[in-house]
Amino acid sequence: DPWKLMLLDATFRAGQQTCHLIHYLRLSHHLIVLNYLICTFDKLKSVSSEDINITDAVFDGVEVRVFEPLAKRDERLKRSVVYIHGGGWALASARTSLYNNLCRIMAESLNAVVVSVEYRLVPEVCFPEQFHDALRATKHFLQPDVLAEYSVDPNRIAISGDSAGGNLAAAVCQQLSKDEHLTIRPKLQALIYPVLQAFDFNTPSYQQNMNMPVLPRYVMINYWIDYFNGNYDLAHSLLINNHTALDVGQALSFRGRLNWTSLLPSSFKKNYKPVIQTTGKAEIIQEIPALLDVRAVPLLAENETLQLQPKTYILTCENDVLRDDGVMYAKRLENAGVEVTLDHFDDCFHGCMIFTIWPTDFSAGIQTRNSYIKWLDENL
């Protein structure tokens, strides 16, 4: 697995460098090229199934892929999972084999209807459009007549996602919990190494894993900048937390909601020290106000919203800059009275759960996927 991880990371970095060169030459946006390369390579490894009916549909203007187990005689209504794929809000697709395979296995293992949301990507659209796509598709599916069409039990629905998809799943779940007009709400949320905050890029996991494959710190910061349609010139200021310095008034009220010195256990804090600038650049927040928008950064939500969240599963990996995002969210939800399962893996890395198909088949992928599906099976 270490050799496979090194090869995967080297391939990804080489692809990124090629795409940035194409971007520099103004031939195309680097994320468009990178996604094209990913999807082209992915087509070589399609995975199908005779036991699952896979169809494409449109839910309130948003494309989705629906995975339905074949109906059995005298069967009751099925449970269901709305799944939102990762990829930095810019890469991958519900139709790629990596996510097609994951959702197919989920549908088979759980005998559940899985709705995989094909939200629009950066650079075609930026925040908040990805959030709106995920929210619209989910709300459409939660309508009683739509659930009846797919023979889904309205009391057994989960919303889930990995990485940037975990970000969208958490944000959508928060929004649904505040919608007084909804008659049907998710029973569970399940977040896989979610990205939940852009407030502090020097949490212990960001410091520990700053150069870790396949998501180094600078790459995650660039994903945030792309998501917000910001300027790459701000990357260094974000890296040293200039945007949330003590003299940045807009950030002051959020500081207590993301204090990792109190939210993380000592085993994660280790000997790392907080990076808090005394003077910073308030103009960063003025230029990119979404840095403090809870629809983009669910970890900054107020306690009143967190209290409304359903039973929650959060999977984190030790070798991941986003580890502490998930751990802090689990702690805040727990403090708000929500039942939370934090499923931490010491020997796993960011993105591992989708890498289960040769040649990128990792034991970490099988291990995390099995644990995730087991929790859903026992709780949904």
Catalytic residue numbers read: 163, 320, 350
Half-sphere exposure of 30 (CA within 13 A, CB side): 17
Gap between the Cα atoms of 238 and 245, Å rounded: 10
Contacts of 291 (CB under 8 A, 6+ apart): 198, 199, 224, 228, 243, 284, 285, 297
31-36 long-range contacts, CB within 8 A, separation 24+: 31/90, 31/91, 31/121, 31/122, 31/123, 31/226, 32/123, 34/91, 35/87, 35/90, 35/91, 35/92, 35/93, 35/121
Measure the CA–CA gap between 5 and 169, rounded to whole angstroms: 27
C-alpha distance across the termini of the chain, in Å? 32
Residue 120 near residue 150 (C-beta atoms within 8 A): no
Which two tokens mark 293? 């928008």
